[in-house]
Amino acid sequence: MDAVRNPFAPGAGSNPPELAGREAILEDAQTAIQRALIAKSSRSQMLLGLRGVGKTVLLNKIEEMAEAAGHVTSFIEAPEGKPLSELLVPKINQALRKLSISEKARATVHQALRALRSFASAFSISYGDASISVDPEAGVADSGEMEADLPELFVRVGEAAKAAGKAWTLLIDEVQYLRSEDLAALIVSLHRVNQKGLPVLFFGAGLPQVAALSGDAKSYAERHFHYPAVGPLGETAAATAIRQPIKDEGENIDSKAIEEIFAKTKGYPYFLQEWGYQCWNIAEGPCIKLEDASKAAGEATKRLDDGFFKVRFDRLTPKEREYVIAMAKLGEGPYRSSDVAAALNETPQSLGPRRAQIISKGMIYSPSHGDIAFTVPMFSEYLIRNYVAQPSNE
């Protein structure tokens, strides 16, 4: 088939041609977006799931929906180790500038900009021309304590959005990389604007451990957040995700080929995109058949090994690699930490710091006490293929 017309585009955060199986999440988001505009509160949402399930895609879609409804949005991808204050200041500055277009909101926006100036000064953050165009508001968001200052800043932004007849939607991807004190401050801030009935919405996305991290940061986080699980697609949704884009291009795929793709990918959206991409390029057309899907497995697996999996494995130190390979040798997870320790002839206590470091890198998480699992689907199979069945020369 014509590679130029290939509808599949596997890539980090790339929008799939067909967003199947996520209707309930998007409907809940749409309801929250509309409620915010009429001063009705909704619980903030934190999308949780493994790598490659499409959390970023959903956040992008929710941002698009919010903007279409008249919200001012701020999208942040949290990197490891960077303070939330540094990430938020330029985004809030930008949001307030957009709100200032409204004549009736200008005075309120000016007050919010003053609070932002105070906040930025307290945390020694430079953010462009706003730092010289307004004076700080003494006594507001200027203590240098994140959990005290951020709620005051959020209230000012919420008041500005309300005055403009709009809402402010903050979206943060990779929430697990936020520092615990920053996550606590964020939760307190969202709680505060919710108490005041201000039009501020939050949508986050992160690995499964975020629910526990939120609870550790603030005990009431469980009541404040809704935690939609974003997992692999079921067979029907996976079939739609593959078949519909092909049909939209005037081509076809038979049911046996779809069954083969689902069996190989286990319904994980990123893998579905990779298999669909390879099947399209292999097939001569006008219909993708079972043999095409079978042939696609080799190239799809190679591309995943060389990219999706390898880029994550390469972030680990030699000792951390030893740990995750020991996990894979135990078979399918989750794994008991004690079993991994036994396989390495060490104690769970001695391996604690190493395990914690791998968790901090977002490679593994603890689904329950004493258990660990990979955050990357089918990662154990990658390790077996490349470092157990064919040991590394390193």
Confidence of residue 68 (pLDDT cuts 50, 70, 90): very high
Give me the pLDDT at residue 394, please: 46
Domain 317-388, second-level architecture: Orthogonal Bundle (1.10)
Give the lowest-confidence range in 11-20, 141-150, 214-223, 301-310: 11-20
- Mean pLDDT of the region 214-236: 84
**Would the pLDDT of 265 be above 60?**
yes
Give me the pLDDT at residue 390, please: 63
- Mean pLDDT of the region 34-57: 91
Residue % of the chain over a pLDDT of 70: 95
Give me the pLDDT at residue 13, please: 57
Higher-pLDDT residue of 215, 384: 384
Round to whole Å and give the CA distance between 170 and 364. 27
Give me the pLDDT at residue 190, please: 94
What is the tens place of the pLDDT at every residue in 138-147?
889 999 999 9
Sheet with 200-206: strands ordered across: 72-77, 168-173, 200-206, 44-48, 225-226
Q: Looking at the whole model, is its pTM more than 0.95?
A: no
Average of per-residue pLDDT values in the chain: 91
SS3 99: helix
Fold of 233-312: Helicase, Ruva Protein; domain 3 (1.10.8)
- Mean pLDDT of the region 90-105: 94
Topology alike, domains 23-226 and 233-312: no
Give the lowest-confidence range in 73-87, 125-139, 176-190, 331-345: 125-139
Q: Where are the domains of the chain?
A: 23-226, 233-312, 317-388
Q: Are 332 and 366 a contacting pair, CB within 8 Å?
A: no
Give me the pLDDT at residue 132, please: 42
Round to whole Å and give the CA distance between 24 and 39. 23
What is the tens place of the pLDDT at every residue in 317-369?
999 999 999 999 999 889 999 999 999 999 999 999 999 999 999 999 999 88
**Would the pLDDT of 41 be above 90?**
no
Paired tokens of 299: 């190239």
Give me the pLDDT at residue 14, please: 65
> Domain 23-226 sits in which CATH superfamily?
P-loop containing nucleotide triphosphate hydrolases (3.40.50.300)
- Mean pLDDT of the region 88-114: 94
Pairing label, strands 168-173, 72-77: parallel
Concatenating the DSSP letter of every residue in 172-186 gives EE-GGGS-HHHHHHH
Residue 234 neighbours by CB under 8 Å, 6+ apart: 21, 267
* Residue 180 neighbours by CB distance under 10 Å: 11
For 294, counting Cβ atoms within 10 Å of its Cβ (0-12 exposed, 13-18 middle, 19+ buried), the class is middle
SS3 362: coil
